[in-house]
Amino acid sequence: MKLENKSILVTGGSRGIGRAIAIGMAKEGADIGISYVNKKEKALEVAQEIKNMGSKAVVIQADVSKVSECYGLIDEFFKKFSKMDVLVNNAGICILGKFTNSTEQDYDRVMNTNLKGEFFCAQAAAKKMIKQGGGTIINMSSLNGIVGEPDQCAYNASKGGINMITKSLALELAGYNIKVNGLGPGFIVTEAAEEDVADAEVRREYLQNIPLHRFGKPEDVVGAAVFLASSDSDYFVGQTLYMDGGIMIQQFREMRDKR
């Protein structure tokens, strides 16, 4: 019960990593707010699962690519819970495609959701947290924020930007007793990613670069998320924790082996 009596908002909490984090934090005693864009039934399913554990859960519709809805989301959460101990800035999208074929519309969708959404949800939450005397913000980055991957240039750029937002906010907000850190998952197979690895050859190519020889599951992110949300990480400031099965060190090993 590391998160008992905490009120936590998980943006994009209706599926994938967000769903796993919402449920995992509820298991640790937290009450949870779940934001969604257009899959209300999925959000309600997560909320019901959390209620069955004995925690409070509400769902709130919001498109975080719009600043007004970021602020509306935070305001609505405070109406439901009266305080926000933790914001998990999880909502995000990825549009695959060659850089030379990328459109302005695709670029804007990725940046507005991933980068602008996290920025202004954090801003809206921070203003409330300052008044209440503190809180925690957890930004969802990715291994792609430090290791580039072909065919998702805008996504890579958005996650790199999130890493710098995390560091910058940590510096600005530490004095207000607001702890800001990040999570950087590697290849996590969610519903959205299952199609990407359906082909046996594609799976083989990915797995040969993962020292653990398996893909990550959404649940593999939960432990780090709970840690950053709890008092166990009170001296962590501006850090991004990576759970990647060893991909980063594998890259360096390959470089060494080629010498």
Q: Quick check: is 144 in a domain? A: yes
Q: Quick check: is 2 in a domain? A: no
Q: Quick check: is 124 in a domain? A: yes
Distance CA 64, CA 74 (A): 11
The residue among 213, 211, 215, 217 whose CA lies nearest residue 251 is 211
- C-beta atoms surrounding 97 within 10 Å: 13
pLDDT in tens, 225-251: 999 999 999 999 999 999 999 988 875
pLDDT for res 257: 59
Domain count for the chain, please give it.
Answer: 1
Q: How confident is the model at residue 116 (pLDDT cuts 50, 70, 90)?
A: very high
Q: Quick check: is 70 in a domain? A: yes
Residue with tokens 């010498």: 259
Q: How many residues does the chain have?
A: 259
Question: Which of 155, 176, 206, 235 is flagged as catalytic?
Answer: 155
pLDDT in tens, 39-65: 899 999 999 999 999 999 999 999 999
Q: Quick check: is 232 in a domain? A: yes
Distance CA 248, CA 228 (A): 22
Q: How confident is the model at residue 252 (pLDDT cuts 50, 70, 90)?
A: low
Q: Quick check: is 1 in a domain? A: no
Q: Quick check: is 228 in a domain? A: yes
pLDDT for res 205: 81
CATH number assigned to the domain comprising residue 82 = 3.40.50.720
Q: What share of the chain is helix, strand, coil (3-state, %, to 5)?
A: 55, 15, 30
Q: Quick check: is 12 in a domain? A: yes
Distance CA 243, CA 122 (A): 23
pLDDT for res 193: 66
Active site residue 155: yes
pLDDT for res 192: 66
Q: How confident is the model at residue 209 (pLDDT cuts 50, 70, 90)?
A: confident
Q: Which domain holds residue 96?
A: 7-257
